[in-house]
Amino acid sequence: MHIDPVSGLLREARQRPSPHCDERPTGSLPELLVIHAISLPAGEFGGPWIDDLFCRRLDPAAHPDFAAIAGLEVSAHLLIRRDGSLVQYVPFHRRAWHAGVSCYAGRERCNDFSIGIELEGCDTQPFASVQYTRLADVTRSLWAAYPGLLGRRIVGHSDIAPGRKTDPGPCFDWSRLQRLLDA
């Protein structure tokens, strides 16, 4: 996989630019990778709903669950779908609005210094094998594109927003990801 150092875009990803991003604060660089899980509607996979949410197009009338979230200004840098396809919403060098109120190692505002990757999934179902493979490939590409910046620190959304968030959830196999990264 290849990340263009100037644009911050992953060549292998379909690009769906999100308006829910901005520049990182001066001097802030990606130091942390945050793994998320998302499904829209909850527990359902496929469809355009994640793209629509991150790109400010989610129709609140399309599903009863959407009324409460349609106006949210959220995004992620990248989504890995169940089939392994990749969708990029925000260039990696920009700040995506994925973490919300968050803290890592005493530092608040994790969006300032992190990259957020969403896996299409939920707390109650295992993730697809291809998602782990793609996540490991993307992670290695990020380490190559931003040498020393990520510090190889990878956490779940639940780790930086405990009590508020549960993703990627108990079905995410952290040891499987580590084995792939070590290979």
- 24 burial type by CB count under 10 A (0-12 exposed, 13-18 middle, 19+ buried): middle
Please identify, in words, the CATH class of the domain defined by 14-37+77-182: alpha beta
- 148 burial type by CB count under 10 A (0-12 exposed, 13-18 middle, 19+ buried): exposed
φ, ψ dihedrals at 20, nearest 5°? -90, 70
- Catalytic residue, chosen from 31, 108, 118, 120, is 118
Domain assignments of the chain as residue spans, ordered by start: 14-37+77-182
- Give yes or no: 108 in active site: no
Query: Do 92 and 18 form a contact (C-beta atoms < 8 A)?
Result: no
Question: What confidence tens digit (pLDDT) does each residue in 59-113 have?
Answer: 999 999 999 999 999 999 999 999 999 999 999 999 999 999 999 999 999 999 9
Question: What confidence tens digit (pLDDT) does each residue in 158-172 have?
Answer: 999 999 999 999 999
> Has this prediction a pTM greater than 0.75?
yes
State mean pLDDT over 119-137. Answer: 97
